[in-house]
Structure 1
Amino acid sequence: MRPVLVLSSSPAMSSSSANKPKGGPTLVDSKLESHQRLDNVQDSADHLLETLGYTPELSRNRSTAQVAFMSFVLASIPYGLATTLYYPLVGGGPVDIIWGWVLVSLIIVCVAASLGEITSVYPTAGGVYYQAFMLASPKWRRIASWITGWLFVVGNITITLAVNFGSTLFFVSCINVFEKEPGVGIFAGETWQVFLIFLALTLFCNAVSALGNKWLPWLDTAAVFWTFAGVIAILISVLVIAKNDRHEAKWVFGHFESFSGWPSGWSFCVGLLHAAYATSSTGMIISMCEEVKDPATQVPKAMVVTIFFNTIAGLLFLIPLVFVLPDLGMLAALASGQPVPPIIKAAVGSSGGAIGLLIPLMVLAVICGIGCTTAASRCTWAFARDGAIPGSKWWIKVNKTLDVPLNAMMLSMAVQIILGVIYFGSTAAFNAFSGVGVICLTAAYATPVAISLLSGRKQVRKGKFYLGQLGAFCNVITIAWSLLALPLFCMPTIIPVSAQTVNYAPVVFVAATAISGIWYWAWGNKNYAGPPVHDD
């Protein structure tokens, strides 16, 4: 029989010990074994990280469920789909909204599975850039990791910027469900007002991420239940009340109407930015690998499983809205570019009812911003840790009191605020931020996948998440999607193009590429050795 831990020598304890069943583990034994298993898993993860060349610096405070919940929050599907619903509305109407979401979700399952296979072998906060280095041949590994790393960092920062900026525009539209008169909201939403709200929201998300790090897993957990409660409330309310009646199912699932000016097929594809933006965070969770107890299995599973939850949540949100859509032409002409608040108001028939249903989305928007801020800071810190960002010695410092890479977080925040100034020159800035975020992250995800496929997928066979031939199929879909997304999301949403509606995503993308190229030529070519890995 196993030894029993004696906590006291009192008669009561002695009597209890004497009367316990023989031959079986006690409650104390079970708790000790559970803690030992957790400690062993964490020690194993830390040992693997050291083997991959890094010293563990961050606390592993997230369980499998919590990392899955964070992955869910990073996508924040009802909120993410709400802020970008304008694109499929203009691109193709109901067909683009529903079937575009289903199509992209199926593609993103392949992306998540492909990344999961590689992450299972190389679970570090460096994510795809570390993976690209390890998978590439010695001749090309430095430049491969450099390009992938910059794409990943810029993608994380700009998608976080897009989330906070999209939240700002969404909040303004939500406020304006209260109207002075039909079509005239109570808040003007001038350019400077929008920028100040964005600034306040960005500062708030960074403050919560920095000061409340140990509570973030619980916030992510609560957000999941909050999400489904909000979605169900919207679903029931708009379908039951439906002030302007409901469309027929044939119209909901089969009506195509484009307002973009593009040919029908291309218009449908441009509208996919809606779904691509909402799912672009799929690989951002990799940056949390060094704060997860068993990243080699937890992170790949979380990435894949979350997609299915996201898909269901998205359909529960989108289909009811399409059933109660008001005039499509009116929605396509909205100056705010935020159709969800007017749709919900038209469905329930009152401003008070509309704002009550919009509050869950507004709260989720803030939680999503906090999650993206956290992930962006970790990938910035990881890339700086290998000397790839100018001033790396400042950005790699971890604040031991807060247990976060605070300097890297501040760098990410500063870049977001500077890029946010673009809004003063173009009201289509949100399109640029979301577009460049999707482009960079999609390309970053595809790079290690392509290298792995071209090298015969030899390395991923060693992982705990190896998918065999199914994995090879997923790799091909991932690469094909990347090749389509790169030119697709550089396109303007509507044509003809004006200075106000031009898509600035290519400008931001080229600027980031130029900065990374110049820095590699000036410093990286001679000094950047890549991650501190062992040759074996």
Structure 2
Amino acid sequence: MSEISSPAQSQQLLTPLGVFSDGTGTPGWATTASPAYVACIGILMSQYTITGFDASAHLSEETRNASWSAPLGVLTSIICSSVFGFFLILCLLFSIQDFDSTIASTVGQPVLQILLDIFSEDGAIVLFTLVIICVWHCGLFSMTSNSRMMFAFSRDHGIPRWFHYVDARFHSPVRTIWLAATLAFILALPSLGSSVAFAAATSIATIALYVSYGLPILIGLIWHKNFKKGPFNLGVFSRPVALVACLWIGFISIIFCLPNVDPVTSQTLNYTPVAVGIVALWTFGSWFAFARKYFTGPIRQIQAEEAGVDIDEPGALERAEIEGKIDKL
């Protein structure tokens, strides 16, 4: 370990060998199963962190030249999240002073304990406040994105039409904002009493998101001859990348349903498969019972195609709105 100095106190950094090769901690899945199993179930939080890359697609209806700008936004998000996230994790790992005390911290948060060990109480409070502010903004953006998707989904008759409403005072889809907030609150309630419940909620969100990403990719992969590519595409790499994406989504969907706490009891069991099964059952049941009778797809795109508008042409939808060929948002 190499020694460093800070205004608060003199501390030590782990060596690269200690960060990248040493394994430590109390015996658990590493001995019951294998270190590979531990590495697999440890993917959850990093996979959940990168889920925000689809935000550009969520808001693409308000974007000019969306067929190009939305994919570029997705790529930029992935690159920035991966690079900066990787270096952030490295900084935290190199700064661990004592692994056991970090895990068994009385503050209940390993990251906060690392900051306390390095910067003392005052510095840790300042830095962790910045973390809380960032998390709050992430939640705010998720709320914005979710409410916007629900607003569009209600327009397309995917959920009750009552939610397709813009408040005259705030010029926002207030009803879908409250719907998103209420559903998130209900999903988070079990986490108040169990960290396992929090992991399950995170797993549900991650699996559901990636399955929703994977289904259209899988359809395009199977029926590639009927798949119409947009202006932005990967050319000859489209099918190999799609295959890797589908395999990875299938892999993490299985991994995130496996137990992540040893020993497995009724209190530590991963209930993600049960929750995912309930959601899948409700989704398929509602589709065959009534949704297929009135949900015909994205109305805006259907109207554009019926009016002879090329939705891949930059600015085509905006011009069609002005000319009255399609309904305004």
TM-score bracket, normalised by the shorter chain, equals: 0.7 to 0.9
Q: TM-score, normalised by structure 2?
A: 0.81
Deviation for aligned residue 1:360: 1.6
Aligned counterpart in structure 2 of residue 287 of structure 1, from 47, 58, 68: 58
TM alignment of 1:358-369, pairs within 5 A: 358-369=128-139
Deviation for aligned residue 1:451: 0.9
Change (3 A) 1:509 1:258: farther
Deviation for aligned residue 1:366: 1.0
Aligned counterpart in structure 1 of residue 151 of structure 2, from 365, 378, 381: 381
Unaligned ranges ≥5, structure 2: 309-329
Partner of 1:440: 208
Change (3 A) 1:514 1:298: same
Partner of 1:371: 141
Residue type matched to 1:382 in 2? A
Larger RCO, structure (CA 8 Å, separation 6 or more)? 1
TM alignment of 1:14-33, pairs within 5 A: none
Q: Distance in 1 between matches of 2:242 and 2:167?
A: 38
Partner of 1:208: none
Q: Distance in 2 between matches of 1:529 and 1:490?
A: 32
Q: Is the Cα contact below 8 Å between 2:12 and 2:97 reproduced in 1?
A: no
Partner of 1:351: 121
Q: Is the Cα contact below 8 Å between 2:25 and 2:99 reproduced in 1?
A: no
What are the superposed Cα offsets for residues 267-296 of structure 1, whole Å, 9 maximum, x if unpaired?
101001121011012223311111222211
Q: Distance in 1 between matches of 2:217 and 2:107?
A: 38
Partner of 1:45: none
Residue 225 of structure 2 is aligned to residue 454 of structure 1:
no
Partner of 2:42: 271
Q: Distance in 2 between matches of 1:284 and 1:512?
A: 23
What number of residue pairs does the alignment pair up?
A: 295
Deviation for aligned residue 1:460: 4.3
Where 1:465 maps in the other structure, the secondary structure is coil
Unaligned ranges ≥5, structure 1: 1-237
Q: Is the Cα contact below 8 Å between 1:239 and 1:324 reproduced in 2?
A: no
TM alignment of 1:291-302, pairs within 5 A: 291-302=62-73
Deviation for aligned residue 1:493: 1.9
Q: Distance in 2 between matches of 1:347 and 1:336?
A: 15
Residue type matched to 1:379 in 2? M
Moved more, 335-344 or 485-494: 335-344
Change (3 A) 1:492 1:240: farther
Q: Is the Cα contact below 8 Å between 1:243 and 1:346 reproduced in 2?
A: no
Where 1:245 maps in the other structure, the secondary structure is strand
Q: Distance in 1 between matches of 2:220 and 2:108?
A: 40
TM alignment of 1:80-91, pairs within 5 A: none
Q: Is the Cα contact below 8 Å between 1:258 and 1:264 reproduced in 2?
A: no
Q: Distance in 2 between matches of 1:497 and 1:335?
A: 24
Change (3 A) 1:365 1:380: same
Partner of 2:191: 423
Deviation for aligned residue 1:419: 2.1
Residue 235 of structure 2 is aligned to residue 465 of structure 1:
no
Q: Is the Cα contact below 8 Å between 1:269 and 1:488 reproduced in 2?
A: yes
Partner of 1:491: 258
Aligned counterpart in structure 1 of residue 163 of structure 2, from 395, 399, 402: 395
Partner of 1:474: 241
Partner of 2:315: none
Q: Is the Cα contact below 8 Å between 1:247 and 1:323 reproduced in 2?
A: yes
Deviation for aligned residue 1:457: 5.9
Change (3 A) 1:521 1:460: closer
Percent identity between the aligned chains?
24
Partner of 1:503: 270
TM alignment of 1:27-106, pairs within 5 A: none
Moved more, 279-288 or 240-249: 240-249
Deviation for aligned residue 1:515: 2.3
Aligned counterpart in structure 1 of residue 99 of structure 2, from 325, 328, 333: 328
